[in-house]
């Protein structure tokens, strides 16, 4: 098949694949000629007469057999046309036969056939009611070449950026499918009105680049018969009041984004369709990072007598992720949310504000020290993004969360280091004059006191913070995981994920169950009361009970058993894989559940 063809050429190719003139269809030596007598008129003894011809019933059975079966999924009429080619092949012969074929089809599906235009030959299919041209290369669709009785037109996954030519003299469509195209301009919204589609009942505009929600809904409100609308996957679907505004503004809508519009939902969003000033083209995302688990103990915290005194190493742990740069109005400031309750919100400015080009920036949590059980991150931040198209594309790729260790090396200050001149204090002046300061007196008293303070000095900090200089910190990545967020474009509002960012493998559900069972079995049992005899008195220990303790060799056996136990434990620890490094992450797309949520947004 050529690289790109017209719609009618693709239709002719599908007709050719039906094999309407080949066995068992059409005329051929396998058919009984019309001028021959029926086989039943002859004697039974003439059983071999007409054996070279196939009976009509047998030819019909051959149509669906594996040998002569063909693909007829592109139209319900395709299989019926093959049946006509067997029973009445003369109807498909000649010029009249071609006209009969054209008028025979009411449904046509041409999918992924590299169709790049709709030509005037499509007008020959005068009875066509349902035309599907999905996954093709259409950049323009002219209504002049569409059949007059067309009711359903599906143009999903093409290259359409405008439907102006489709609206010149459009057919009375009941359904128009334009999903997964390149519609983006608000100038196209004027074509979605009753002037062009008075009978339209279903409209699919999902996964385009539409942004102006209020302007689009104003046009759609003029369609009197619209019952089914799909807008998901567009940048405007990320707006907090997206569903509420559409449901309240289009009161006759029955299904929105493949979800039935209930009476309760209409009641909850009542009045929101008229409050257009609250529907701003901006989205609010809340990123929450809770706990970090599985981080191994830093080497500097382990006991090692051979470790040099300097540099002093400090390790802290952070979680890093990417996000589009926040849109900051001049009348407000961004704030980190530290509380978990309530819906996050930002003030809204009614003034026109010049927008800054959106860019991707890194966000990091506050550095946290190592903890044996888990590291509490406690990060919660709201991101306000006004570039909805960039945000939609960003969410399609997901957010990458990384676990990093921040290491800082500190060295003692040497005399060569430049230090600022510090004015002398009265204490220093008195020290120069030979007078003892209270600190020196205390120091002398401590020296007289004995050697007890030496150990304290040894175990304390090696150098004070004032005597150390720090190198620029270095960051090392433990691991990362991408959290997919495409479900935000499909109607979901919250994603809660346990990210695996290095370490050992994540345990399966069965392994977790087994670990919990072993932990319950190893848990210490409560102390039992001493046993009592029948008389109720406590039993006295047997006099021979302690004799075994004094047997020769018993202590040695116990020591050997303890050594073997320690060796076995060390071997198990070496063979056991390290725990997985996990971080609990939650990403929420802020949405309004009722009309009152829009008013709460203004109360800051």
DSSP annotation string for 468-492: EEEPPPEEEEEEEEEE--GGGGGT-
Mean pLDDT taken over the chain: 77
Q: Which residues contact 245 (CB under 8 A, 6 or more apart)?
A: 213, 214, 217, 239, 269, 272, 273, 276, 279
pLDDT band at 117 (very low <50, low <70, confident <90, very high): very high
How many other β-carbons are positioned within 10 Å of the β-carbon of residue 201? 17
Q: What is the mean pLDDT of residues 561-585?
A: 68
Question: What are 449's two structure tokens?
Answer: 């006191």
The residue count for the chain? 604
Q: What is the mean pLDDT of residues 354-373?
A: 79
| 438 or 172, which is more confident | 172
The per-residue pLDDT for 509 is: 65
The per-residue pLDDT for 56 is: 61
The per-residue pLDDT for 332 is: 39
Place of tokens 């190592």: 370
Please write the tens of the pLDDT for every residue from 59-83: 566 566 665 667 788 899 888 888 7
Please write the tens of the pLDDT for every residue from 191-212: 999 999 999 999 999 999 999 9
The fraction of the chain above a pLDDT of 90, given in percent, is 45
What does the domain layout of the chain look like in residue ranges? 5-16+88-278, 282-345+357-414+466-506+578-604
Contact between residue 495 and residue 587 where contact means Cβ atoms under 8 Å apart: yes
CA distances from 45 to 7, 39, 41, 42, 475 (A): 56, 12, 12, 8, 99
The per-residue pLDDT for 105 is: 93
How many other β-carbons are positioned within 10 Å of the β-carbon of residue 461? 10
Judging by beta carbons within 10 Å of its beta carbon (0-12, 13-18, 19+), is residue 207 exposed, middle or buried? Answer: buried
Question: What are 94's two structure tokens?
Answer: 């000649």
The fraction of the chain above a pLDDT of 70, given in percent, is 65
CATH number of 5-16+88-278: 3.80.10.10
Strand bridging mode 255-256 / 228-230 = parallel
Please write the tens of the pLDDT for every residue from 88-113: 776 777 788 788 889 999 999 999 99
pLDDT above 80 (res 27): no
The per-residue pLDDT for 423 is: 53
Q: Which residues contact 249 (CB under 8 A, 6 or more apart)?
A: 217, 218, 221, 273, 274
The per-residue pLDDT for 344 is: 40
Q: Which residues contact 190 (CB under 8 A, 6 or more apart)?
A: 219
Q: What is the mean pLDDT of residues 479-506?
A: 90
The per-residue pLDDT for 519 is: 52
pLDDT band at 514 (very low <50, low <70, confident <90, very high): low
pLDDT band at 569 (very low <50, low <70, confident <90, very high): low
Rounded to whole angstroms, the Cα distance separating 390 from 33 reads: 69
* Best CA proximity match to 476, nearest among 403, 424, 539: 403
Q: What is the mean pLDDT of residues 547-553?
A: 47
Judging by beta carbons within 10 Å of its beta carbon (0-12, 13-18, 19+), is residue 253 exposed, middle or buried? Answer: buried
Q: Which residues contact 467 (CB under 8 A, 6 or more apart)?
A: 412, 413
CATH number of 282-345+357-414+466-506+578-604: 2.60.40.150
pLDDT band at 470 (very low <50, low <70, confident <90, very high): confident
Contact between residue 503 and residue 478 where contact means Cβ atoms under 8 Å apart: yes
The per-residue pLDDT for 462 is: 46
pLDDT band at 516 (very low <50, low <70, confident <90, very high): low
Q: What is the DSSP string of 161-173?
A: S--TGGGSS----
pLDDT above 50 (res 301): yes
Contact between residue 114 and residue 5 where contact means Cβ atoms under 8 Å apart: yes
Rounded to whole angstroms, the Cα distance separating 212 from 592 reads: 18
Selection from 224-228, 450-454, 566-570 with the highest mean pLDDT: 224-228
CA distances from 158 to 114, 124, 138 (A): 10, 24, 5
Judging by beta carbons within 10 Å of its beta carbon (0-12, 13-18, 19+), is residue 52 exposed, middle or buried? Answer: exposed
The per-residue pLDDT for 456 is: 40
Rounded to whole angstroms, the Cα distance separating 243 from 236 reads: 10
Query: Could you give the count of Cα atoms lying within 13 Å of 596 in the half-sphere of its Cβ?
Result: 2
pLDDT above 90 (res 589): yes
Q: What is the mean pLDDT of residues 301-327?
A: 85
pLDDT above 80 (res 31): no
Rounded to whole angstroms, the Cα distance separating 204 from 288 reads: 34
| 514 or 473, which is more confident | 473
* Best CA proximity match to 122, nearest among 97, 141, 95: 141
Q: Which residues pair with 316 in a beta bridge?
A: 406
Alpha carbon distance, N-terminus to C-terminus of the chain: 62
The per-residue pLDDT for 446 is: 43
The DSSP element (H or E) to which 291 belongs, if any, is strand 283-293
Please report which residue ranges of 170-284 form alpha helices under DSSP H: 213-220, 242-249, 263-268
The per-residue pLDDT for 345 is: 39
Rounded to whole angstroms, the Cα distance separating 327 from 282 reads: 9
């Amino acid at each position: 098949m050529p690289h790109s063809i017209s719609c009618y050429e693709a239709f002719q190719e599908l007709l050719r694949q039906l094999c309407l003139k080949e066995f068992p269809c059409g005329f051929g030596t396998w058919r009984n000629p019309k001028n021959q007598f029926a086989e039943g008129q002859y004697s039974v003894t003439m059983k071999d007469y007409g054996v070279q011809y196939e009976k009509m019933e047998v030819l019909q059975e051959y149509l669906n057999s594996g040998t002569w079966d063909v693909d007829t999924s592109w139209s319900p009429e395709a299989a019926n046309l093959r049946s006509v080619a067997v029973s009445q092949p003369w109807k498909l012969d000649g010029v009249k036969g071609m006209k009969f074929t054209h008028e025979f089809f009411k449904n046509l599906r041409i999918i992924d056939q590299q169709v790049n235009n709709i030509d005037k030959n499509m007008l020959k299919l005068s009875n066509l009611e349902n035309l599907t041209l999905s996954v093709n290369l259409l950049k323009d669709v002219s209504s002049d070449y569409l059949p007059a009785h067309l009711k359903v037109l599906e143009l999903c996954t093409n290259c359409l950026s405008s439907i102006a030519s489709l609206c010149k003299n459009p057919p009375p469509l009941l359904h128009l499918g334009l999903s997964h195209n390149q519609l983006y301009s608000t100038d196209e919204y004027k074509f979605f009105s009753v002037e062009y589609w008075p009978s339209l009942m279903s409209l699919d505009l999902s996964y385009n680049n539409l942004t102006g929600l209020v302007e689009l809904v104003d046009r759609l409100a003029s369609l009197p018969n619209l019952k089914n609308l799909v807008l998901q996957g567009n940048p405007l679907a990320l707006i907090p009041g997206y569903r509420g505004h559409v449901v309240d503004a289009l009161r006759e809508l029955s299904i929105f984004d493949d979800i039935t519009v209930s009476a309760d939902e209409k009641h909850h969003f009542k009045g929101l369709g008229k409050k257009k000033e609250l529907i701003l083209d901006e989205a609010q995302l809340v990123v929450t990072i809770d706990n970090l688990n599985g981080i191994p103990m830093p080497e500097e915290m382990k006991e090692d007598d051979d470790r040099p005194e300097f540099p002093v190493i400090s390790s802290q742990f952070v979680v890093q992720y990417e996000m589009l740069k926040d849109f900051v109005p001049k009348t407000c400031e961004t704030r980190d949310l530290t509380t978990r309750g309530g819906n996050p919100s930002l003030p809204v400015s009614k003034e026109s504000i010049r927008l800054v080009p959106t860019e991707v920036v890194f966000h990091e949590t506050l550095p946290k020290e190592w903890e044996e059980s888990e590291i509490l991150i406690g990060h919660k931040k709201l991101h306000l993004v006004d570039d909805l198209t960039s945000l939609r594309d960003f969410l399609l790729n997901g957010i990458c969360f990384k676990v990093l260790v921040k290491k800082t090396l500190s060295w003692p200050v040497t005399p060569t280091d430049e230090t600022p001149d510090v004015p002398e204090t009265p204490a220093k002046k008195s020290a120069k004059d030979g007078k003892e300061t209270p600190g020196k007196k205390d120091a002398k008293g401590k020296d007289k006191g004995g050697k007890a303070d030496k150990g304290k000095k040894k175990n304390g900090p090696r150098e004070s913070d004032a005597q150390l200089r720090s190198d620029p910190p270095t960051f090392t990545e433990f691991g990362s995981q991408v959290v997919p967020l495409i479900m935000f474009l499909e109607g979901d509002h919250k994603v809660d994920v346990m990210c695996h960012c290095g370490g050992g493998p994540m345990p399966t559900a069965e392994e977790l169950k087994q670990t919990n069972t072993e932990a319950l079995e190893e848990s210490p049992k409560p102390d039992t009361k001493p046993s009592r005899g029948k008389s109720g008195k406590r039993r006295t220990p047997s006099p021979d009970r302690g004799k075994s303790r004094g047997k020769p060799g018993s202590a040695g056996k116990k020591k050997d058993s303890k050594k073997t136990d320690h060796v076995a434990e060390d071997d198990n620890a070496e063979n056991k894989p390290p725990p997985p490094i996990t971080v609990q992450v939650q990403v929420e797309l802020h949405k309004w559940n009722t009309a009152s949520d829009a008013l709460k947004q203004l109360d800051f």
